[in-house]
Structure 1
Amino acid sequence: MLKRVPHCAIILLTAGGLAACGETASLQVADGSGPAPQLPAPNKTLLPTVNIAPAIGWPEGGKPVAAPGTQVAAFAEGLDHPRWLYVLPNGDVLVAESNTPAKENTGGVRDWIARKIMSRAGAGVPSANRITLLRDADRDGVAETRSVLLENLNSPFGMTLVGNTLYVADTDRLLGFPYESGQTRISRPPAVITDLPGGELNHHWTKNVIASLDGSKLYVTVGSNSNVGENGMDQEQGRAAIWEVDRASGQKRLFASGLRNPNGMDWEPVTGKLWTAVNERDEIGSDLVPDYVTSVQDGGFYGWPYSYYGQHVDERVQPQDPQKVASALVPDYAVGPHTASLGLVFADGKTLAAPFDQGMFIGQHGSWNRKPHSGYKVVFIPFKAGKPAGQPVDVLSGFLDKDEKALGRPVGVVNDQRGGLLVADDVGNRIWRVTSAR
């Protein structure tokens, strides 16, 4: 049994609302980025750092700031908490309009505080539980039609098409729906491919899915049920992991573990390796621990909860497991502490011109527990010969205004096959499209 630790949602309340508390970063976000991030000593304070950027949405005509040589415009507006994106072979864009699963209100202080934090950060809305299809038939960069492809789901997130089956990762099951090209609504019931860890606690609820390059396997991300195992390791069975699912039989096995909260996944085009974006642990300071992107080794263990960034032991976790720590792999590339890096897609060589033609795009949802804020942008990591080769470069920024309020929060990112990068913004309720400037 692991020692219980203070919950990250403990906060101070003032007459004005939620007050920022905790400590302030001593390093820059860039110091915690790259292949060899700085990892200072843990800074555990009496109260965890809480620094929420209140969500206010975009003003009329507002939009993010695009990198030089690029431009951005709204592909679709008026969505309901759009989180994840998938582009079908015919160019139709699927959007998972989704949020935290509804659960029974226990009336406890932690539940109440968690709801307050979610509401202030823009995530306090009920889940729409649907997949919406957006179509840009005239190819002008704006979706002129939308339809509900699937509804009455359970906090859907990841999507992938293999043959005539559209796979959707609900929060507790992997589903397979029959699909025909051009279809705008699916009414036939799904096949349940496999159950996924869910339940009443279900701390990290998002589940992503990607198909192997030959389509025979499906890979599914499952986040942890806690920060560092404080709810007991019996609540972590099958979690903090990526599962490999045999598409034909539905049988699954652990592909990689020790990944606190993996989300985005994609195949690196040179080496063919699977990469994922992982959100690391909290409550040991604004500078720890950097989120990261990494190639994923079959059978690899990445440290959680016993250690971070390889074999840096987290002393809060008791009892420790020295054997597990000794086997912990060092991630390939840090993307800054508490940036909440979720979306991940490799450039396809056709979407944006150099310097954004070889590398990885990352959607950084943004921190709620770092002073000053980190994330709230889309960044690009250049690659060479299948490996990261440089510091992150901003692609979209300006999601925070001058008063540090959140105009938007980027999540999923995907190439649209027509020269654009699509970005889901779950506070702005829009899909942004980034293209090379003309």
Structure 2
Amino acid sequence: MRAPTTLTSLPLAFILLTPLHAQEVRTGAKAFGTWQDDAPGVSRHITPADLPPPSLTENDPEAPDFERLPKVVDAPQGKMPNVPQGFTVQVVAKDLNKPRVIRIAPNGDVFVAESGSGRVLVFPAEGAKEGSATPQAFAENLDRPFGIAFYPLVEPRYVYVAAANQVVRYPYRTGDRKARGSAEVILADIPTKRHWTRDLAVSRDGQRLFVSIGSASNVAAGMPERSSDEIKAFEKTHGLGTTWGEEENRAVVRVMDPEGGTVRNFATGLRNCSGMTIQPGTDTLWCTGNERDHLGPNLVPDFLTSVREGGFYGWPWYYTGANEDPAHAGERPDLKDKVLVPDVLLQPHSSTMQIVFYDASAFPAEYRGDAFATMRGSWNREDRTGYKVVRARMKDGKPTGLYEDFMTGFVLDKDTVWGRPTGIAVAQDGALLVSDDANGTIFRVTHGGSR
């Protein structure tokens, strides 16, 4: 049994002197880049017109020569992430076992999915702020827990948890740090091959619970053949462009009532929507997209996007609109003009994970309404990308397509990293919490003199 993990108050990081927004926006080929181009304030705007043609057409999902997993090391002595001028970083938790999703309870308690141990942990709000409390295990014995949701949103009675194989819920009252009862299965028998990160989101009216389920493969190259009539009949019940065989009800966002009585596909063609959130003040569901590999170093862009009901986002047939995947050349011309283009295109292979909108007032006013997203980082690209937190710029609640680096510095050289940002949440006091699942750390980012 693992020893209890204690929050640790460590010295504050230095405040970076790089002026915010000092760099021009990088567009075209310059927008792709690598970790060596990253720094707080560096901005990028990638459009579909910027995409190169595929440089690798075999699209072999098991090609061993593409695997370049990073070596993860401890943080060098005194090393902290880089953040924009005026912001400060501190470590408030360490020695966790693959902490991933972070969600904030209505009373400010910090819930963390410790995927490596099969637990959901709770840090008391004040303890998480000061780095002075030992977390409690709210729930245990789960298969790689990930998504967490409170229901209803006001005065919740349940905590829902999405494990790799099922969605469960626990009875809960505000302030509970241990589940009041055993797990009740809401959605059972989710297949666990390949992508296992299931996230959760609750609609503003509380009538719908969303769950994301990633694909079982890179490009679904092994699906059994079906006639056009069979495909049409299948799509009537499963959604436009959806896949079958081992990919049935995968690469989708599903929607159900909170009791799990009715379940259907809400959106399709999303290879791995590993993070979801509802944009504050709206009914708009947002998703992070992990796109396919093996088409070249600058394909396919990961993304952040609003998710339309009934929307089809391309996988596995197309990507970023009407760009056909070579692995499925000529197979589905009927879908070409029906693929939705994601709202914010990101550097390919960044492995974007979680997304949160900043709706607090502790950061400068210009941050209000923008989105933050984590990038766990590339695993098969010679020159690494990702390993950072980015900020997607919004205007009047709408995405501009532009995003900028916010927290960087986790890559030491082409082979070595000391952190992989994964979870992200806005704490009750407006600080930004970021989990690193490589070294088991939670960072707290504040602005000015606030802590």
TM-score by length of 1: 0.83
Distance 1:158 1:144 in 2: 23
Alignment-mate amino acid for residue 131 of structure 1: V
2:405 to 390, 394, 405: 394
Alignment-mate amino acid for residue 213 of structure 2: V
Once the two structures are superposed, residues 364-407 of structure 1 have per-residue CA deviations (whole angstroms, 9 ceiling, x without a partner) of 00001223111110010110122223632221111111454110
Corresponding residue for 1:73?
A: 90
Give the 3 Å change call, closer, same or farther, for CA 303–148 of structure 1 in structure 2.
same
Alignment-mate amino acid for residue 382 of structure 1: R
Tell me the secondary structure at the aligned position of residue 176 of structure 2. Answer: coil
Corresponding residue for 1:134?
A: 123
1:176 to 165, 169, 172: 169
Corresponding residue for 2:321?
A: 310
For the aligned residue pairs, the C-alpha RMSD in angstroms reads: 2.1
Are 1:194 and 2:206 matched, yes or no?
Answer: no
Q: CA deviation at 1:326?
A: 2.7
Once the two structures are superposed, residues 153-177 of structure 1 have per-residue CA deviations (whole angstroms, 9 ceiling, x without a partner) of 1111000011211000011111011
Once the two structures are superposed, residues 1-26 of structure 1 have per-residue CA deviations (whole angstroms, 9 ceiling, x without a partner) of xxxxxxxxxxxxxxxxxxxxxxxxx9
Q: Is the 8 A contact 2:343 2:401 kept in 1?
A: no
Once the two structures are superposed, residues 141-200 of structure 1 have per-residue CA deviations (whole angstroms, 9 ceiling, x without a partner) of 32523111111011110000112110000111110110122222126212111125314x
Matches within 5 A, 1:316-327: 316-317=327-328, 320-327=331-338
Once the two structures are superposed, residues 58-79 of structure 1 have per-residue CA deviations (whole angstroms, 9 ceiling, x without a partner) of 1343321122121111121111
Q: Is the 8 A contact 2:360 2:430 kept in 1?
A: no
Corresponding residue for 2:284?
A: 273
Q: CA deviation at 1:237?
A: 0.3
Corresponding residue for 1:264?
A: 275
Distance 2:287 2:352 in 1: 10
Give the 3 Å change call, closer, same or farther, for CA 139–197 of structure 1 in structure 2.
closer
Distance 2:218 2:45 in 1: 21
Q: Is the 8 A contact 2:168 2:184 kept in 1?
A: yes
Are 1:412 and 2:423 matched, yes or no?
Answer: yes
Are 1:209 and 2:226 matched, yes or no?
Answer: no
Are 1:97 and 2:97 matched, yes or no?
Answer: no
Corresponding residue for 1:120?
A: none
Corresponding residue for 1:297?
A: 308
Corresponding residue for 1:432?
A: 443
Give the 3 Å change call, closer, same or farther, for CA 352–409 of structure 1 in structure 2.
same
1:363 to 365, 370, 374: 374
Corresponding residue for 1:219?
A: 210
Q: CA deviation at 1:57?
A: 2.5
Unaligned runs of 5+ in 1: 1-25, 99-126
Alignment-mate amino acid for residue 130 of structure 1: R
Q: Percent identity?
A: 36
Structure ranking higher in helix proportion: 2
Give the 3 Å change call, closer, same or farther, for CA 57–250 of structure 1 in structure 2.
farther
Give the 3 Å change call, closer, same or farther, for CA 351–50 of structure 1 in structure 2.
farther
Q: CA deviation at 1:271?
A: 4.5
Tell me the secondary structure at the aligned position of residue 323 of structure 1. Answer: helix
TM-score by length of 2: 0.80
Q: CA deviation at 1:33?
A: 4.4
Give the 3 Å change call, closer, same or farther, for CA 271–92 of structure 1 in structure 2.
closer
Matches within 5 A, 1:151-170: 151-162=140-151, 163-170=156-163
Tell me the secondary structure at the aligned position of residue 379 of structure 1. Answer: strand
Q: CA deviation at 1:339?
A: 0.5
Number of matched pairs: 383
Distance 1:139 1:94 in 2: 10
Q: CA deviation at 1:343?
A: 1.0
Q: CA deviation at 1:354?
A: 4.0
Are 1:229 and 2:238 matched, yes or no?
Answer: no
Unaligned runs of 5+ in 2: 1-27, 34-43, 224-243
